[in-house]
Structure 1
Amino acid sequence: MSEVIRVERTKNFTVMSNHHFKNKELSLKAKGLLSLMLSLPDDWNYSMKGLATLSKDGIDSVRTAMKELENQGYVTIDRGRNEAGCYQGTIYTVREVPKGEENN
């Protein structure tokens, strides 16, 4: 028998879809990273280095989980370039459900 002890959700909690939790194609690491990303403010800078500072995992671990999320359609990474073709920054689009499945 199991027991789950829950807290009252009046402050400091996140509401998100269960989609990624039930996706058997995602590792626990990728599920955890997406959950963390969804718990951050919308204007947070989702850099690999920044995400790595939020856990004991290093940048390589974050990078592999991010690649998994990207491959499954939960994250889109756009490496911006200016008119001269120079790197201008990275834009991360984070989705609760994979791209194209928003209405399913």
Structure 2
Amino acid sequence: MSFAWIALIVSGLLEAVWATALDSSKGFRRLWPTVIFLASYIASMVGLAIGMSEIPVGTAYAVWVGIGAVLTAAWAMITKKDRATVLRVALLAGLIACVVGLKAVS
């Protein structure tokens, strides 16, 4: 796996961090969640940019969004901010399959 793919995967993980921190910041009224949001957002964008240096933009963006979306949704279900239903979990599994498929054909 190339450095570009590793950077892209890590930046997808950081997308989930900044999305969760953004929610926790309560409209940027709480200091530490806001600081975590800003740091993880910048690092996530840098990783996405590195990934796009070798991976086609459509694939890179879809993988980045997919990782972030699945992890953010899963965290929300784990922390009981969203309901975990069989259909939601199945749809997230389908999204994971699509991200893995994009990696496989790239």
TM-score, normalized by the shorter chain, greater than 0.5? no
User: What is the TM-score when the length of structure 2 is the normalising length?
Assistant: 0.30
Structure with bigger helix share is: 2
Higher relative CO (CA 8 A, sep ≥ 6), structure 1 or 2?
2
Structure with bigger strand share is: 1
User: What is the TM-score when the length of structure 1 is the normalising length?
Assistant: 0.31
Which protein has the larger Cα radius of gyration, Structure 1 or Structure 2? 1
